[in-house]
Structure 1
């Protein structure tokens, strides 16, 4: 495994040299993973490539991102000449798509997570980029086709991963890219509202349950909450409706670290972390086999939810 980047020119060269291409993103895909995959896949389809996307089911709010028809099931994918992993920190995060990745003749890994393991045959990892969609835009701009739908998908991923341009990862380069994407006359207000200001009733109920269960620890430095499978069931929801909760927790005044836990099953807990300046939650997540960014990271812990919280709190106590 090599821990260095190939150039964008090399990545383009490899893509152009292959005809049957499969793309995939991380498990429980978010706006950036979905946007990056559907934007690049749509561009390659316009070029005449035989392209398919492997993504797990996701929240209905992401239906605002165009070209969802490119997503298929793993069983429908024959061996790929080229597999492009997007917004995925390591091969394990590809989950079911990892099998297709391993069978491919060539592999490309494009990502912006600092914890990326450079697991591709060819790699382009830019941890200073706001999002994988920002990288994909730099990859295809002036070289591969872009239309309104592709621009919409890239815009969706960028605004999602920057929290609507609020996160410190937002740079002048990010805003320049967004301005250029808006020139394609994309429905930017509709996309923004769908990702940040719209939710169904069950999601609202789950959020209320999470806020009611929120707790403060370590003299107010840590805020955390947790949701069980029973909570989700009582709210008639799904675990695809939980991704906004951690950002609300993070916004509580005077807290330094925010944690949110939810049960995937009785012995697997998903943990999401957010940290203020000076608190490296990526390092925290990596202690449990996860990763992400310095200020935003996550992991899955093989333990009951009470034990998972205990394990994480022990590490946070050391941090504080």
Structure 2
């Protein structure tokens, strides 16, 4: 599994007239930022661009370019999959991916399956937004709107430049984006310091449900659909919980499970140094990074938790 060159990918993009761009299902700040920023750049270059993203939480409206997010109406010359580790993670957009004449996969998840006709995967990069900047730099002018989206993706996936994936290049890119005059403080505050009342209530419920296992080495929290509904919230308001759990002193693995349906559970994992949670997620058909990964488990939530803890016990 090997990368194509940036030049090969840029040539394919230049040749295409109609382009569809998509990120993973339940998109986060990096997926949305990378897709909309790349979309804006290609739209400005005269391409007919459609961005296929599932409905996302209002806090991400700080990312410009939402007018590009629409339903695809016809197959495209080229499909650009961003921040998506495998074809299945594209969700409904996978139908358009399979119909496109040319498919390109650009990502930073080390578990990526190289599912595009052309692939560019940089597992060391902090975010897909950082990689996208590398494609735009010197090839497409990056204006303030594009810069705001890429900066949003950068800070989302680095936890505000705190995660170990933050490199000198990440900071160089952040500096270049700030030079366009983006409202970087507003973007940061929207992601990390502001929340809806329902999001706060859900966080409280999830933390109330948290328990320690294996002599405090593992912290695990769950939340059911009924508990989310009782807080008048939705499952789009759960992002911050896993990172809060990760901060528990002495915990080497943090896991958060939420009920999508009675027989489908989404799990997020975070690991301390030396704990490969990507390998854990892969046991359940998921993936991600060594220290941050996730998966979907087809089981009731209590059973899913039992399965996860059994695998973590083996890992410890």
TM-score for the superposition, normalised by structure 1: 0.98
Structure 1 consecutive aligned stretches of length 4 or more whose deviation exceeds 2 Å = none
1:259 is matched with which residue: 247, 251, 255? 255
Structure 1 residues 49-198: aligned runs within 5 Å? 49-73=47-71, 76-198=72-194
How far has the Cα of 1:145 moved from its partner? Answer: 2.3
The whole-number CA distance in structure 2 between the counterparts of 1:40 and 1:69 is 13
Residues 47 and 145 in structure 1, CA contact (< 8 A), matched pair in contact too: no
The whole-number CA distance in structure 2 between the counterparts of 1:161 and 1:236 is 27
Question: 1:14 corresponds to which residue?
Answer: 12
1:16-52 CA-to-partner distances (Å, cap 9, x unmatched) read: 0101000000000000000000000000000000000
How far has the Cα of 1:9 moved from its partner? Answer: 1.0
Question: 1:25 corresponds to which residue?
Answer: 23
The whole-number CA distance in structure 2 between the counterparts of 1:133 and 1:253 is 31
The whole-number CA distance in structure 2 between the counterparts of 1:39 and 1:190 is 18
How far has the Cα of 1:109 moved from its partner? Answer: 0.0
TM-score for the superposition, normalised by structure 2: 0.99
1:119-173 CA-to-partner distances (Å, cap 9, x unmatched) read: 0000000000000000000001010121000000000000000000000000000
Structure 1 residue runs of 5 or longer lacking an equivalent are none
Question: 1:287 corresponds to which residue?
Answer: 283
1:231 is matched with which residue: 215, 227, 230? 227
> RMSD of the alignment, in Å?
0.5
Structure 2 residue runs of 5 or longer lacking an equivalent are none
Q: How many residues align?
A: 316
